[in-house]
């Protein structure tokens, strides 16, 4: 059985994951408007990935006898001055999500909720990957100077990304 405090915190995390999806969809929209279709593809897939994270939390709450309560999703930023700025925001956002996951782990530990702590370990590992990917892409955009042939080649590279849903349970 899921404790009320943990249920509330997991509901907040579901909202945060849905916001992440919304933010990346907004970044995709901005990228398309700038003619960066590969960047748009990368951000759309990132939005799908965040939605799967939300649904993973959703399923867990019900598996533990809790209740998911939907809340309003904050409107995301819609404009960036450059591709570099978008990836700087991506890295900053992923670092914020890492902090949220870490708080959930602490809450689970403090409550001796070992089942939730175990489920959260997948997200801990996922956030290491998310931060690394965001930082590497930020570095690549910075390296090419955010324009010209380098940006064109990076856009083509990002166009090749495909969505691969994570396994339901590991």
* Cα-to-chain-centroid distance, residue 33: 22
pTM: 0.94
Residues 57, 10 contacting (CB under 8 angstroms): yes
Task: Give the integer Cα–Cα distance in Å for 98 and 70.
Answer: 22
Each residue's pLDDT tens digit, 74-125? 999 999 999 999 999 999 999 999 999 999 999 999 999 999 999 999 999 9
Look up the CATH number of domain 4-159.
1.20.1260.10
Convert 133-145 to b/e letters by CB count within 10 Å (16 or more is b): ebbebbebbeebe
Task: Give the integer Cα–Cα distance in Å for 147 and 144.
Answer: 7
Residues 41, 98 contacting (CB under 8 angstroms): no
Each residue's pLDDT tens digit, 112-157? 999 999 999 999 999 999 999 999 999 999 999 978 899 999 999 9
């Amino acid at each position: 059985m899921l404790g009320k405090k943990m249920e509330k915190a997991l509901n907040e995390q579901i909202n945060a994951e849905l916001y992440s999806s919304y933010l990346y969809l907004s970044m995709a929209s901005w990228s398309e408007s700038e003619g960066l279709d590969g960047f748009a593809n990368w951000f759309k897939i990132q939005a799908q990935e965040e939605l799967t994270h939300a649904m993973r939390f959703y399923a867990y709450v019900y598996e533990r006898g809790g209740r998911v309560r939907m809340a309003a999703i904050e409107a995301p930023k819609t404009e960036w001055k450059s591709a570099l700025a978008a990836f700087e925001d991506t890295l900053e956002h992923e670092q914020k999500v890492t902090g949220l996951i870490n708080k959930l782990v602490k809450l689970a530990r403090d409550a001796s909720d070992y089942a939730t702590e175990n489920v959260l370990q997948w997200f801990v590992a996922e956030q290491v990957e998310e931060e690394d990917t965001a930082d590497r892409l930020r570095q690549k955009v910075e390296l090419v100077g955010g324009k010209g042939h380098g940006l064109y080649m990076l856009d083509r590279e990002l166009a090749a990304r495909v969505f691969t849903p994570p396994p339901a349970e590991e």
